[in-house]
């Protein structure tokens, strides 16, 4: 009797194909100096947030919510966080989600309506794309950081009879390139085309802009602007906040299926996130320290490797070939640096890279040693 073929053989075959391309992924424990995480301000394991968690537990704040926000899962800590976020980010309302992915999935699957057009940057977060796949609006993809490409997409849609609302969707700081669009010009374009502007501040929240409120902080109070702030990066906790006119939060509460049918985020995490917001609001020391590290890293990257940095706390080092990027990352981990390779489909084919994230979990000596080790491993594309 012949052995029965596994019902998951097709999945195994797909994994083998990924391996032949050098793109098969596996979970790895973290080890070595942190040049990978998004814990930009070093808050995730900070004494301040650990004390905040202990204090919340002492107040009997529960770990789990026990249900969705529309049922018994709506805890006072969720509402306190949303009120604090609204004040800090100077928004009419804030709605808290369990993750940035869930926030974007909810927003883009529900808010753009049939007959609308959503124009997004070609390197927008996967969560935005996945939300749009579940939505009803038409979608156009603009070239990276190219305002003319966005405007052309809107005008072409109007010329073809589009009569709904246009939406423009960008990130303020892109996680794989460390760059971003001209937000002032983008806001002017949105105003001119009567478009809704959505800005994902995931990698800028707490780090950049006035008081750490993000690069789009100057758009406070604009009634055509929605801003998504992630809590799981510089704020050191988990979740995300959609900051927008109150009607948007009310609509998502009523029509956003991922929000409606998900168990509410942990009240304990909400309580700690409120403390994290207070920390970044009242003390700029961590932001200033990170800014100094960014400047130092830019000089050291040029000195050791002859490469120009992005100017932000995200530094991509393009390797090109997928396997070469994986091998280089492994060699750096062998030197004691936690560096990971980023490969397609996360980035375009032929642009596999090392993504160097600068955080307050390292110092100048570690940065210099990283780039010295990188230079010692051989010539880099540049």
Please tell me the distance from the alpha carbon of residue 196 to that of residue 91, in angstroms, as a whole number: 15
- The angle, 0 to 180 degrees and rounded to 10, between the axes of the packed helices 246-255 and 100-110 is 90
Q: Which two tokens stand for residue 45?
A: 């394991």
Which is catalytic among the residues 75, 125, 229, 313?
125
Give yes or no for a contact between 374 and 317, defined as CB atoms under 8 angstroms apart: yes
Residue 243, SS3? Answer: strand
Distance, CA of 26 to CA of 85 (rounded, Å) = 36
Concerning whether 120 is annotated as a catalytic residue, the answer is: no
Give the DSSP letter string of 72-105: TT--HHHHHHHHHHHHHTT-SEEEEES-HHHHHH
Helix (H) or strand (E) holding 257, with range, is helix 257-260
Could you tell me if 108 and 135 are in contact, meaning their C-beta atoms sit under 8 angstroms apart?
yes
Instruction: Please give the Cα distance from 4 to 368 (Å, whole number).
Output: 56
Cα separation, 154 vs 160, whole angstroms: 10
Per-residue 3-state assignment (H helix, E strand, C coil) for 130-155 = HHHHCCCCEEEEECCCCHHHHHHHHH
Closest residue by Cα to residue 119 from 110, 128, 106: 128
For residue 3, the Cα-to-chain-centroid distance in whole angstroms is 46
- Pick the catalytic residue: 151, 200, 300, 338? 200
HSE, CB side, 13 Å, CA atoms: give it for residue 88: 28
Q: Who contacts 16 (Cβ-Cβ below 8 Å, separation ≥6)?
A: none
Please choose, from the candidates 282, 262, 284, 216, the residue with its C-alpha nearest in 3D space to the C-alpha of residue 78.
262
Which residue in 39, 233, 266, 322 is the catalytic one? 233
Q: How many CB atoms lie within 10 A of CB 252?
A: 23
Q: Respond yes or no: is residue 200 known to be catalytic.
A: yes
Active site residue 175: yes
Active-site residue (options: 86, 127, 145, 175): 175
CA-based R_g, the chain, Å:
22
Which of 120, 203, 229, 313 does the annotation list as catalytic? 203
Residue 27 and residue 362: Cα distance in Å, rounded? Answer: 23
**203 labelled catalytic:** yes
Whether 38 sits among the annotated catalytic residues: the reply is: yes
Active site residues: 38, 125, 171, 175, 200, 203, 233
């Amino acid at each position: 009797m012949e052995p029965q073929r596994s019902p998951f053989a097709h999945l195994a075959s797909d994994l083998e194909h990924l391996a032949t391309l050098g793109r098969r992924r596996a979970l790895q424990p973290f080890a070595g100096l942190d040049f990978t995480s998004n814990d930009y301000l070093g808050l995730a394991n900070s004494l301040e947030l650990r004390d905040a968690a202990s204090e919340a537990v002492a107040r009997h704040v529960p770990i789990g919510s026990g249900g969705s926000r529309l049922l018994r899962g709506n805890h006072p800590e969720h509402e306190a966080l949303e009120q604090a976020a609204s004040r800090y980010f100077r928004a009419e309302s804030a709605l808290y989600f369990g993750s940035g992915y869930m926030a974007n999935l909810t927003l883009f699957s529900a808010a753009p309506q049939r007959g609308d057009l959503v124009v997004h940057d070609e390197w927008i977060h996967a969560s935005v794309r996945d939300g749009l796949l579940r939505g009803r609006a038409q979608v156009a993809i603009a070239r990276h950081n190219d305002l003319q490409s966005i405007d052309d997409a809107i005008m072409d849609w109007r010329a073809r009879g589009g009569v709904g609302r246009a939406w423009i969707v960008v990130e303020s700081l892109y996680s794989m390139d460390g760059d971003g669009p001209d937000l002032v010009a983008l806001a002017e374009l949105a105003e001119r085309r009567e478009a809704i502007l959505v800005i994902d501040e995931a990698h800028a929240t707490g780090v950049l802009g006035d008081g750490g409120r993000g690069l789009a902080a100057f758009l406070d109070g604009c009634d055509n602007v929605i801003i998504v702030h992630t809590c799981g990066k510089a704020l050191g906790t988990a979740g995300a906040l959609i900051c927008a006119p109150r009607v948007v939060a009310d609509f998502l509460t009523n029509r956003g299926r991922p929000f409606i049918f998900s168990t509410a985020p942990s009240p304990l995490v909400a309580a700690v996130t409120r403390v994290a917001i207070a920390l970044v609001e009242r003390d700029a020391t961590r932001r200033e320290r990170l800014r100094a590290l960014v400047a130092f890293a830019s000089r050291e990257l040029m000195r050791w490797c002859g490469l120009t940095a992005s100017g932000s706390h995200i530094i991509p080092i393009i390797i090109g070939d997928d396997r070469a990027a994986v091998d280089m990352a492994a060699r750096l981990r062998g030197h004691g640096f936690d560096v990971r390779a980023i490969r397609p489909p996360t980035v375009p084919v032929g642009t596999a890279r090392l993504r160097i994230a600068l955080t307050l979990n390292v110092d100048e000596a570690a940065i210099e040693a990283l780039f010295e080790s990188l230079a010692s491993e051989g010539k880099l594309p540049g």
